[in-house]
Structure 1
Amino acid sequence: MAETSVEHYSESAVPRRRRTGRAGIFAAVLVVVVFAASIVAVIVFSRRAAEQSTARPGRSNAGPVGALNGTFIAEFGPRTDIFGNAYQGNVVTEKYDGPWSIRSACRSDGCVATASFGRQNSKLSALVFDEIDGRWLAVAVTPGTCDTVSTDVWVIFTLQPRPDGTLSGEYLEVPQIQCGAPGIRGSSLPAKQILTFRRSGNVNPPVQAADPEAQPPRHASPAQGLHGQYLETMQEQTGTYTRSNTVKTYCVRSGDRCMSLVYTALDFTPLVFAGQKWTVNFERDVICASGGAGRYADIREFSLPPAPQDPIPVLKGRAHQQVTGGTRCDSAYDFDDTFERTGE
């Protein structure tokens, strides 16, 4: 795994803290931990992301997008981070440019399209799109790497029909672990590409897509209630940190697994929803600013509220972060982690 130097972190990236009397080296170590940890910023889920990932089909206000049938060539623009800046991350997945065979059907519960990728030995050979608010959305989980470490990567395709007959939108890659160098703008943020599908002909028989009528209905997830802007409060024995972040959530069609993107302009932390809770669980190498290499671990758990709302006003959890390796950065912290919604 690639090493990350905490010397690259800027002071502006550190959440403000109300000190409780500890000073000197303890404060310095805590700052290093905050830097190296790139403490997950508030869980903020954009309603649009939740709507794309978990919304109930057939309840669109935009009306059906119409049939989607034929062979399409996928064209991907340059990689950027989610803000449109040059991508500096290290996530590697398969390329999905080239021919896709697509079939669609509209049912009482919404429109569904099945897509088959024409490249042999592809790890992502098929997708299922759902029509949600005038757009086609597909979410899949595929093998990839993050800083050379194998991990699942969530891939999200969003397409909207255009008057010229093409479909255009975005493609996102979201690793299930954190990588890059938090504090260096864009290095840990998910990758985004402008995506265009151009129809090149009828469905190619050798690359036949599955029957869209045979697909099960899309299921909503309670995770869809976690979206918008949230203020995160991290309460430790040594003090309190607060931080505001944005969150977007994408779910697979079954609704039992979701990826929640927690991000600021500087960094990103993946929260994976499964089994009625969100979790963070990853390790990575760090370099202490005072010298020496260490290992950073971040483990968090947030239970789904007993009566989840949409939006979820408050989410509470518990976190453990530590740095090991025999340097001055070595430390361990357990703290309460609370997210309070402040807006869309």
Structure 2
Amino acid sequence: MPNPGSVFEGTYEAKQVQEERPDLAPTPAEYQTSVFSVKSFCANESGPCVASALVTYPDFVPPPAPQPVVLDFVDGRWIANLALPSFSCSTVSGTPLQASGWQVSSFEQADGVDDGSLITGTGVTHAGPPCLKEYSTAYTFTRTGPLDPVMVIPSPDELPPLVDSPGSALSGTYDLDLTPLPEPGNVNAQQVTESGNYQSSCTRTGDRCVSILDAETDILPTLEWADGAWSSDATYASAPCEDGSGQQQTTIRVSLTNNDASTSPAQALTGEVRKTYAGDCPGEVAWTIAATRTGD
């Protein structure tokens, strides 16, 4: 019996439908339908596979160059996690802000289908602070025929293997304890205790990951992993000073490391949160972070 991951092969019509919300711009019509030309490779009759695809947009004039996409078949699903160049948002007053962005996607065969002719799934776009936005896009892949021989698709068997990244170790439920550092500016800083569940997604090369906290808190909501540490660096829009003396702009920087890099999931992590205020009321406050895993 062939590996189930081998069935994602051929030419597909792909349709995407983004969720409708007042704060989201609709997907341009020319991007709503695309053509996926897909080749798959499975090294064994069971286990992981890799799919290599070229994406074209027939409704776009002039048509852009075909876009290469790689999907990995893991545990019955095709996944693709992409770090986006940037994400733009704005405040209620229209002040533009920039944040890091990710799209985390997962696809599987439709119910009752086992030949790869109909594949469905969802891509979730995450924007980190200061935007802190999340929305989903539904995808449907319908096979329309075999591969067009004019499409030169990168050979999936020549692609590097999926990397099991250390950045995926931030996974599960954690207690987060923030303790004010003994610094002059920390006079009014308070002890903070929260808990929540982190789920991490990594690029297939394993060099970057994103960890999303599901708790309703603005404490460490989104962290990115690279170079052995999780971090966040966000500058917020100007706001009134607490004493009413003018305007200030806040930058929040977070760093967090796994106390034992050999363990996954990470059981204990430590780091620092630092808030810097610029403008008419400058200052800085900081906390140490202790994150302790309490469950899945």
TM (norm. structure 2) is 0.78
Q: Highest Rg: 1 or 2?
A: 2
Amino acid at match of 2:148: N
Q: 1:203, CA displacement in angstroms?
A: 2.1
Distance (Å, rounded) in 1 between the aligned partners of 2:144 and 2:216: 39
**Percent of aligned positions that are identical:** 22
Amino acid at match of 1:132: V
Q: 1:179 aligns with which of 111, 130, 144?
A: 130
Name 1:324's counterpart in structure 2.
278
Amino acid at match of 1:343: G
Name 2:265's counterpart in structure 1.
311
Name 2:252's counterpart in structure 1.
298
* Distance change >3 Å, CA 320–CA 204, structure 1 → 2: same
Q: 1:100 aligns with which of 23, 36, 58?
A: 36
Q: 2:236 aligns with which of 284, 292, 296?
A: 284
CA deviations on 1:263-297 (whole Å, 9 max, x unpaired) are: 43465733111111111112121433866543110
Name 2:119's counterpart in structure 1.
167
Name the SS of the counterpart of 1:295 in structure 2.
strand
Distance (Å, rounded) in 2 between the aligned partners of 1:314 and 1:87: 40
Alignment check: 8 A CA contact 2:18 2:26 kept: no
Name 1:115's counterpart in structure 2.
53
Distance (Å, rounded) in 2 between the aligned partners of 1:215 and 1:272: 25
Name 1:239's counterpart in structure 2.
190
Structure 1 or 2: more helix by fraction: 1
Aligned residues: 266
Alignment check: 8 A CA contact 2:99 2:234 kept: no
- Work out whether 1:140 is the aligned partner of 2:82: yes
Point out which structure has higher relative CO (alpha carbons under 8 A, 6+ apart): 1
CA deviations on 1:182-205 (whole Å, 9 max, x unpaired) are: xxxxxx232222222222222234
* Distance change >3 Å, CA 245–CA 220, structure 1 → 2: same
Alignment check: 8 A CA contact 1:143 1:151 kept: no
Name 2:154's counterpart in structure 1.
210
Name 1:335's counterpart in structure 2.
287
* Distance change >3 Å, CA 254–CA 244, structure 1 → 2: same
CA deviations on 1:101-142 (whole Å, 9 max, x unpaired) are: 1110111473110111103436x9221111110000112223
Distance (Å, rounded) in 2 between the aligned partners of 1:67 and 1:281: 42
- Work out whether 1:158 is the aligned partner of 2:112: no
TM (norm. structure 1) is 0.68
Distance (Å, rounded) in 1 between the aligned partners of 2:24 and 2:236: 14
- Structure 1: gaps of 5 or more residues: 1-62, 81-85, 181-187
Distance (Å, rounded) in 2 between the aligned partners of 1:294 and 1:200: 56
| C-alpha RMSD of the superposition | 3.0
Structure 1 or 2: more strand by fraction: 2
Name 2:70's counterpart in structure 1.
128
Q: 1:91, CA displacement in angstroms?
A: 11
* Distance change >3 Å, CA 289–CA 194, structure 1 → 2: farther
- Structure 2: gaps of 5 or more residues: 58-62, 90-95, 182-188
Distance (Å, rounded) in 2 between the aligned partners of 1:313 and 1:152: 26
Name 2:93's counterpart in structure 1.
none
Distance (Å, rounded) in 2 between the aligned partners of 1:91 and 1:334: 40
Q: 2:12 aligns with which of 55, 63, 72?
A: 72
Name the SS of the counterpart of 1:213 in structure 2.
helix
Amino acid at match of 1:179: P
Distance (Å, rounded) in 1 between the aligned partners of 2:97 and 2:150: 34
CA deviations on 1:295-314 (whole Å, 9 max, x unpaired) are: 11011111233343122111
